[in-house]
Amino acid sequence: MLAKLRSMAVLGIDAFEVGIEADISDMLPSFTIVGLPDGAIKESRERVLSAVKNCGFEFPTRKVTINMAPADVRKEGSAFDLPIAVGLLMASRQIRLENVEEYMLVGELSLDGSVKKVKGMLSMAIFAKNLNVKGMIVPKENAREAAVANGVKIYPVENLSEALDFLQGSAEIDPFTIDINDIFNQARNYGVDFRDVKGQEHIKRALLVAAAGGHNILMVGPPGSGKTMLARRLPTILPDLSIDEALETTKIHSVAGLLSRSTPLLAIRPYRSPHHTISDAGLTGGGSYPRPGEVSLSHHGVLFLDELPEFNKNVLENLRQPLEDGKVTISRAAMSLSYPARFMLAVALNPCPCGYFTDSHHKCTCSPVQIQRYMSKISGPLLDRIDIHAEVPALTYEELSEKKYGQNSADLRKQVDFARSIQTERFCRDKNIFCNAHMESRHIRKYCNLDESSLTMLKNAIEKLGFSARAYDRILKVSRTAADLDNSEQIRSHHLAEAIQYRSLDRKLWMGEAVRM
């Protein structure tokens, strides 16, 4: 007898339908799964066998064939255990189900028949909204995550027997629902605040400009000056996530298996800080079956790279594509996948190997050659893609002992929201432009007009400081953001001067200081 069911799988961050067909024939006992299954699916035989027996049914001692369609797309994961077990019982005529094809079945089985959590549930639920189905039968642990899709009925089950009773009509399960707005509002808590940062008013201003325009930022300073502390608070002054942004970000984390049962929806900007030993695949994504990397997990948030020169140079060069395109493409012989990667890059580094080149309180022990070798680990093209370079000096005793708090994140975020509202109105006709950092050449020509004195200042800066063509564009973008913070339609000379100041750590200048040391 042949049984047919419907399930789903995830490719990239989007789901697609998988048809499960179970056939049992009177031949020598065997169990075969076809349709490009991976190792986890092939091992489902043992899980399904034990689960079926421990739920009071018999495992067929005949030839069992399971087909997964479409057969030309590779499937992976353990989410097909539940539909395979149900199809097996239908094909062996141990149960009779009339309406099973009206439901999507997803779930991994334990040996005792319990239904366990799987990855990518939100992507599947969002996909199921557009299908003609009565609902989804999902693991109870995935119910909150699936209900976030808000458009398809979610029926959570704890074990195989409960799923069978529901499908046979002998038991009822109430559809699981949640209040998305309530969860979204309650989860907006970062746990850190800019008011905890003492001193460093210059770098706070640089971070404010970076957040207001979505600009990448580099911080350089001696150990203990607060670079990491400042970077951790950068997401707290970014605009709140919209529902659409939260869903897209949550989908990526769901596919990566990073969502907890208590967090069905990410309501705050992600902040990722990988260790400097990370591999190419870990940073940009990849693997034999591609997985999202840190650049995608940082989507709509902040990717912070601490001690930048310690990262493998080849790994850092992989950042070029996502920084320019807002996505990362992973190509394999059998497939090509694209993951979204629109993030703010924040990096920190010491000014030299010993860390005290710019510290007036400690003597630097590094030679100019050592400093040059240390800074050369960061390529010029990558440095050009970072809009703002800011020096973080060591704190004085007076600043450390100051009892008065600085501006909090909420106040800074109001300024960022104001500047972003101007940019939203400015780019309302451009679907792919959301802030000044995303401007292309045509936008720069249109929105970054300078008066004569500003043009002269920029010309002198380019000629004397040797900025690249990309750095020229970055200066104009940052000056546009500084003007937006001041609610100025025209870019003034002090806006441009501030933007030029934020390029003072370009390699030519920095190495000139090292040589003069």
How confident is the model over 78-134, as pLDDT tens digits?
999 999 999 999 999 999 998 899 999 999 999 999 999 999 999 999 999 989 899
pLDDT tens-digit readout, 298-325: 999 999 999 999 999 889 999 988 998 8
At residue 132, the pLDDT reads: 82
Distance CA 138, CA 121 (A): 9
Q: Which domains does the chain have, with CATH numbers?
A: 2-178 (3.30.230.10), 187-427 (3.40.50.300)
At residue 334, the pLDDT reads: 67
Token pair listed for 406:
């600085």
Per 3-state DSSP, what percentage of the chain is helix, strand, and coil (rounded to 5)?
40, 15, 40
At residue 517, the pLDDT reads: 43
Distance CA 403, CA 395 (A): 14
> Euclidean distance between the first and final Cα of the chain, in Å?
84
User: Which ranges of the chain have pLDDT less than 70?
Assistant: 333-334, 397, 505-517
According to DSSP, residue 343 is labeled -
Quote the pTM value: 0.91
Q: Give yes or no for a contact between 24 and 136, defined as CB atoms under 8 angstroms apart.
A: no
Token pair listed for 229:
């502390």
**Dihedral over alpha carbons 29, 35, 38, 40 (to 10 degrees):** -50
Which neighbouring-strand residues pair with 220? Answer: 349, 391
Distance CA 465, CA 339 (A): 37
At residue 1, the pLDDT reads: 79
Distance CA 434, CA 439 (A): 9
Contacts 24+ apart (CB under 8 A), 165-171: 166/137, 167/86, 167/97, 167/99, 167/100, 167/103, 167/137, 168/95, 168/96, 168/97
State which H helix or E strand residue 217 sits in: strand 217-220
| Helical spans, DSSP H, in 354-447 | 368-375, 380-384, 397-400, 409-426, 441-447
At residue 515, the pLDDT reads: 42
At residue 469, the pLDDT reads: 80
